[in-house]
Structure formats: structure tokens, C-alpha cells
């Protein structure tokens, strides 16, 4: 397994900078201490989602009797859809109805650290699919540990990005955030096509033989 590909995929999917406008919007009514607590909870939840996906994702596939090749094609398709959304300057996991529901929750005073900031805006189906696919590519325990460690990296990056959300928004502006989101979407699209191709060749070996001729 190329040990750096999962981290590249994770950072492009999670894209905490792209979620900064949502973070600012949903925490605008909170006090400074409440905002700090939200950042910590959101960062820790992102790590938990990534770690559990890496450690237990394959077991869940076995439980539901789903082949990894099928999951890889589905996950690759989901990543491709996410990348198209990012190319349109939308966070990879965002949905209008999710954002609207979050606004209602925020108005009611409910915690928004886990939903929607972490799930699904930061880590959603695309993130989970990616970790399961790369977990299957591991051959040693330390490679799996590295995947879990990448969850720590994502959590730390998320913590610092959200902590500096106000400054980032001022420096980049909405245009800058949109440009960065589009660039990450382009990288994610390339990774998605690679995962799709690998899964399709596993499902239909004749494709691999035709490509080899």
C-alpha cells in the first residue's frame, strides 16, 4: 500500500478549510468557551470516525456479506460525486437539507459539534469508504496503525483550522476558500477514478486482461 495516498485522500475529502464558513455560521451564537469546546469535540469525533472505519469497516462488510470490490466501486463512485461537488466549490459531504437542519438545531441551542460539523460536513460516507478501502490494502499491523494515526493528523489539522477560522476567512475570503475547495476536488477526482478502476477490474477480470493486450 502506498502509505501516503490515504492521507492525501483524507485531507482532500475532509477539507476543514472548506468547512470554515459553516463553522463560523453555526458557532456565531456561542460564547468563546463554548466555541473552544465545539472545536475539541468536533476534532475528536473526526478521529473516532476515521479510526473506527479503519479498524472495524472490513468486519462490517463481512457481516453484511459485501465484497470489497463492490464496496470499492461504490466508494469510488461516492468519492467521484464528492469531488464534483467540491469542483462546484461545495464541501465534499455537504447537502442543503443537512445545512438547513443544522440551522434549526443551532437555533434550538443543541450541540452542533458532532452533527453537522463533523458528520457529515467533515467526515461522512466518502471518508468512511476511503478508510475501509485502504484498510483492506494493509498487509502489516503497523500499516493499520498508520491509518489510525492519520485520524490523529486530521483531528489536529481540524483543531488548528477551526481555531483560526476567523483569520482564515479574512485572509482567503469566500473566493479563496472556493478556489482551494476546487483544487482539492480535482485531486480527489483523480483518486476516485483510480479506486473505481481497481474495483471494476476485480469485479470484471476480463477488463484487466483486455487492458493488458
- pLDDT by residue (tens digit) across 36-95? 999 999 999 999 999 999 999 889 888 889 888 888 888 888 878 878 887 886 655 554
Q: What is the mean pLDDT of residues 112-126?
A: 81
Q: What is the pLDDT of residue 107?
A: 44
Domain count, the chain: 1
Q: Please say whether the dihedral angle defined by the alpha carbons of residues 94, 99, 100 and 104, taken in this order, is positive or negative.
A: positive
When pLDDT is cut at 50, 70 and 90, the band that residue 170 belongs to is: confident
Q: What is the mean pLDDT of residues 160-187?
A: 86
Q: What is the mean pLDDT of residues 26-38?
A: 87
The answer to whether residue 118 scores a pLDDT higher than 80 is yes
Strand, helix or coil for residue 113: helix
Q: What is the pLDDT of residue 126?
A: 81
Question: Between these two residues, 146 and 67, which has the higher pLDDT value?
Answer: 146
Domain that holds residue 97: 5-212
Average pLDDT along the chain? 82
**Residue pair 134/31 in contact by the 8 Å Cβ criterion:** no
C-alpha cell at 84: 464534483
C-alpha cell at 106: 443551532
pTM for the full predicted model: 0.74
Amino acid at each position: 500500500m502506498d502509505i501516503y495516498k490515504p492521507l492525501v485522500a483524507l485531507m482532500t475529502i475532509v477539507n476543514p478549510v472548506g468547512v470554515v464558513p459553516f463553522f463560523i455560521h453555526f458557532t456565531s451564537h456561542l460564547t468563546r468557551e463554548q466555541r473552544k469546546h465545539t472545536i475539541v469535540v468536533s476534532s475528536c469525533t473526526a478521529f473516532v470516525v476515521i479510526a473506527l472505519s479503519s479498524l472495524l469497516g472490513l468486519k462490517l462488510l463481512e457481516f453484511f456479506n459485501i465484497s470489497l470490490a463492490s464496496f470499492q466501486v461504490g466508494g469510488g463512485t461516492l468519492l467521484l460525486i464528492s469531488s464534483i461537488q467540491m469542483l462546484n466549490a461545495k464541501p465534499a459531504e455537504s447537502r442543503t437539507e443537512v445545512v438547513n437542519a443544522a440551522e434549526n438545531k443551532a437555533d434550538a441551542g443543541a450541540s452542533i459539534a458532532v452533527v453537522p460539523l463533523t458528520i457529515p460536513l467533515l467526515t461522512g460516507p466518502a471518508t468512511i469508504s476511503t478508510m475501509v478501502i485502504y484498510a483492506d490494502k494493509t498487509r502489516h499491523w503497523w500499516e493499520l496503525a498508520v491509518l489510525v494515526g492519520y485520524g490523529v493528523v486530521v483531528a489536529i489539522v481540524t483543531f488548528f483550522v477551526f481555531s483560526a477560522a476567523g483569520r482564515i476567512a479574512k485572509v482567503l475570503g469566500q473566493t479563496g476558500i472556493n478556489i482551494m475547495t476546487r483544487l482539492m476536488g480535482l485531486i480527489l477526482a483523480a483518486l476516485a477514478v483510480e479506486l473505481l478502476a481497481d474495483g471494476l477490474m476485480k469485479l470484471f477480470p476480463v477488463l484487466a486482461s483486455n487492458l493488458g493486450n
